[in-house]
Copies of this chain bind each other. A is one copy, B any other.
């Protein structure tokens, strides 16, 4: 019997990403680690699951207390396949971590993010689940600052009675550690991406389009949002739920007579 906590880790930048390595390195002293991460980058894959082809698992690392697999699926697939396997063997992870993402997952990005898709999926098992993201897309980004905030947040998620499901969306500004002003629990900023596709022609004369765009913050003055926190040097922590019901509109709909 092994009573060290079992920590499940995944990401959306792929099994070889530096952010994944740094996350594993940071929490390794806390327990045994099983990681299943996509073989290829899966940014923007949201909560997608793979239904039309089968999944393969490939063990890429096996050390004392650390096993890492690559999987040809999405981040959510990685969570599902790992949990199916672990639970069949009578093991339930004590913690689910996703990241460290290379790039922000604040505001409505929580919806597009593969990192957060995986963290949300983990929370469906009533296990504390946390997605970590650094506001730096660089493949070789410096994760030193994020690493300092991982353990304090993980410990709170595991020890405080915050109810279940529990899923935290943590974003860290791309700043030297000494310029970070602290951890700020906050709400998801409102606002949306507006598209600007870039049109090009392929060598055979067909138009093709690259998805680009910009984020339109529809409440730039609000000071209790993740966008504000990050712009002002705080680590943002947004607790995430998945009841998408708009209760105000539900009340209005109940008053309507549908002919």
Contacts of A84 in B (CB 8 A): 195-197
Q: Is the CB of B239 within 8 A of A249?
A: yes
Contacts of A210 in B (CB 8 A): 54-55
Asked if A52 lies at the interface with its beta carbon under 8 angstroms from chain B, I say yes
Q: Is the CB of B81 within 8 A of A197?
A: yes
Q: Is the CB of B238 within 8 A of A245?
A: yes
Contacts of A1 in B (CB 8 A): none
Q: Is the CB of A249 within 8 A of B162?
A: yes
Interface residues of A (CB under 8 A from B): 41, 43-52, 54-57, 74, 76-77, 80-81, 83-85, 108, 110-112, 117, 120, 124-125, 152-153, 155-156, 160, 162-163, 166, 169, 182-183, 185-188, 190, 192-193, 195-197, 200, 206-211, 213, 237-250, 252-254, 256, 258-259
Residue of B nearest to A161 (CB): B252
Contacts of A110 in B (CB 8 A): 244
Contacts of A55 in B (CB 8 A): 197, 208-211
| CA distance in complex: A246, B208 (Å) | 40
Q: Is the CB of B49 within 8 A of A44?
A: yes
Asked, given contacts A47-B47, A160-B252, A256-B160, whether A247 binds B187 with beta carbons under 8 Å apart, the answer is yes
| CA distance in complex: A46, B156 (Å) | 30
| CA distance in complex: A242, B190 (Å) | 9
Q: Is the CB of B152 within 8 A of A47?
A: no
| CA distance in complex: A158, B111 (Å) | 26
Q: Is the CB of A190 within 8 A of B246?
A: no
Contacts of A185 in B (CB 8 A): 250, 253-254, 256
Asked, given contacts A152-B258, A195-B84, whether A243 binds B209 with beta carbons under 8 Å apart, the answer is no
Some 9 contacts from A to B, beta carbons below 8 A apart, are A44-B50, A46-B49, A49-B112, A57-B209, A81-B211, A124-B193, A125-B192, A183-B258, A239-B245
